[in-house]
């Protein structure tokens, strides 16, 4: 018994060493993809796998992970770039700001970030919206953070909870989760989280009572004719509508032919392909220009795809080494909810490694066996997603982006950005656990 326990402890120490090695390589500015591949090889050999088996695990991990996500990520990137280049995102911003007015400026920015954040990746959405936020804050005499935190909160929740963002999509493939159901659960969770972290939180920490709030004295300059509001919202929300409507329709009994049709269009790859083609046709742009945008969009996520590939390799090495079963044994021994345990592991990796995507992918290899205990794979995706944004600090690029754009000190960034991200993470966990309880009623 003691011998078995010592073996388990030794294997867990090797995994801990692997995490430390990965951290050191990232600190040394090594590309995360290369760092994860090196860590995968070293970890597999230390865990007793033969070199040939390590290579086989890496190959299977890359193929298994990318096989399910690469088309979704590529089409999602194309869709995002088309939306940006054709003025759809700008029209959404203008329409919402004008509709909500000055009194509800936070709600307008929150909803803008949410709608822009669905098709655009976090960094792209942040860069697109930050000029608007700074311009609004200056024109209204409102604090920049009062207007900016709602944007950051809405972009953050879509980034970690909703497909077609890279993290949730990759985790859904690894956990064999239904992407449509994951999206539905994600929507249920993110609405209250976005309100608390994006509206209530900045109002608690920022006092605007003594400020003289002015009406915007500027108008939105349109360098070229933008698409109509109806057209813009239709384009941006089409993939979400197709996936959600299809998922709901599949749960309605009868109508076999209709169910087959909805099963087809609700597949994320098909939904995004339809959305890309719909955007090109509706915007009446030349095919050559549209393809240029699509190529640029894919170029922008090339490294993200490679990091996900390396993460899939590391995940597979951990699974093939059997370490995941030991983690499962520990979770059962501690009598913790598998969802809570998965969140804790991911949160620790996030604090250590910095990158939300790397933390989530690394955790997936450790917690995948917990799925066999009866836990919902869709909720496991959201639990790991929630843990992956916990306590963002100086080893996270998002931390520095927020700090520099809003011209904050380190202390101010911790009190705003780090607090907001931690709030999103903890509230996400609470939402996942509540959904889990509701499913068992």
pLDDT value at position 418? Answer: 95
- pLDDT tens digit sequence for 206-221: 987 766 666 554 455 5
Percent of the chain with pLDDT over 90: 39
Bigger pLDDT: 125 vs 441: 125
Alpha-carbon gap, residue 35 to 354, rounded angstroms: 14
Q: Model pTM greater than 0.75?
A: yes
Q: Which residues, 6 or more positions from 114, have their beta carbon under 8 angstroms from its beta carbon? A: 154, 157, 158, 190, 194
pLDDT value at position 214? Answer: 61
Q: Which of 262, 364, 280 is nearest to 323 (CA)?
A: 364
| CA-CA-CA-CA dihedral for 353, 354, 360, 365, to nearest 10 | -10
Gyration radius of the chain's alpha carbons: 22
Bigger pLDDT: 240 vs 111: 111
- pLDDT tens digit sequence for 280-303: 998 888 899 999 999 998 998 888
Rounded to the nearest integer, the mean pLDDT of the chain is: 86
Alpha-carbon gap, residue 158 to 118, rounded angstroms: 6
Q: How confident is the model at residue 312 (pLDDT cuts 50, 70, 90)?
A: confident
Q: How confident is the model at residue 5 (pLDDT cuts 50, 70, 90)?
A: very low
The average pLDDT across 227-249 equals: 84
Alpha-carbon gap, residue 356 to 407, rounded angstroms: 23
How is residue 153 written in tokens? 């909160």
- pLDDT tens digit sequence for 398-411: 888 899 889 899 89
Cα 86 vs. chain centroid, distance in angstroms? 24
Query: Of 155-164, 222-231, 299-308, 414-423, which one has max mean pLDDT?
Result: 414-423
User: Which residue do the tokens 């949410």 mark?
Assistant: 114
Q: How confident is the model at residue 7 (pLDDT cuts 50, 70, 90)?
A: very low
Assess whether pLDDT exceeds 60 at residue 223: no
pLDDT value at position 255? Answer: 65
pLDDT value at position 136? Answer: 80
- pLDDT tens digit sequence for 172-210: 999 999 999 999 999 999 999 999 999 999 999 998 776
Assess whether pLDDT exceeds 80 at residue 415: yes
């Amino acid at each position: 018994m003691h011998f078995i326990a010592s073996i388990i402890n030794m294997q867990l120490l090797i995994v801990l060493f692997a995490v430390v090695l990965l951290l050191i390589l990232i600190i040394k500015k090594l590309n995360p993809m290369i760092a994860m591949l090196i860590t995968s090889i070293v970890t597999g050999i230390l865990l007793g796998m033969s070199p040939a088996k390590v290579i086989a695990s890496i190959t299977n991990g890359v193929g298994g992970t990318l096989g399910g996500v690469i088309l979704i990520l590529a089409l999602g990137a194309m869709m995002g770039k088309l939306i940006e280049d054709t003025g759809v995102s700008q029209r959404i911003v203008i329409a919402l700001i004008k509709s909500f007015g000055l009194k509800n400026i936070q709600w307008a920015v929150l909803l803008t970030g949410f709608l822009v954040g669905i098709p655009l990746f976090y960094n792209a959405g942040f860069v697109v919206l930050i000029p608007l936020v700074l311009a609004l804050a200056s024109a209204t005499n409102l604090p920049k953070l009062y207007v900016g935190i709602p944007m950051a909160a809405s972009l953050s929740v879509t980034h970690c909870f909703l497909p077609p963002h890279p993290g949730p999509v990759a985790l859904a493939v690894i956990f064999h989760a239904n992407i449509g159901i994951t999206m539905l659960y994600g929507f249920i969770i993110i609405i209250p989280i976005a309100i608390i972290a994006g509206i209530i939180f900045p109002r608690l920490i920022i006092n605007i009572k003594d400020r003289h709030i002015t009406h915007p004295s500027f108008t939105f300059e349109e360098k070229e004719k933008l698409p109509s509001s109806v057209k813009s919202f239709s384009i941006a929300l089409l993939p979400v509508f197709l996936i959600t409507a299809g998922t709901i329709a599949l749960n309605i009994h009868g109508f076999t032919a209709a169910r087959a049709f909805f099963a087809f269009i609700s597949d994320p790859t098909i939904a995004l392909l339809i959305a890309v083609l719909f955007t090109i046709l509706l915007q009446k742009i030349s095919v050559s220009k549209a393809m240029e945008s699509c190529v640029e969009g894919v170029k922008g996520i090339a490294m993200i795809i490679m990091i996900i590939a390396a993460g899939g390799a590391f995940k597979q090495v951990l699974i093939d080494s059997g370490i995941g079963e030991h983690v499962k044994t520990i979770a059962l021994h501690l009598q913790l909810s598998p969802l809570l345990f998965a969140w804790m592991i991911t949160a620790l990796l996030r604090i250590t490694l910095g990158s939300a995507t790397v933390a989530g992918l690394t955790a997936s290899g450790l917690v995948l066996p917990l799925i066999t205990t009866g836990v919902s794979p869709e909720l496991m995706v959201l639990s790991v997603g929630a843990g992956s944004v916990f306590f963002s600090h100086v080893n996270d690029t998002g931390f520095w982006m927020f700090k520099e754009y809003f011209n904050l000190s380190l202390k101010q960034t911790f009190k705003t950005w780090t607090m907001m991200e931690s709030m999103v993470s903890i509230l996400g966990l609470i939402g996942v656990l509540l959904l889990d309880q509701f499913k068992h009623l």
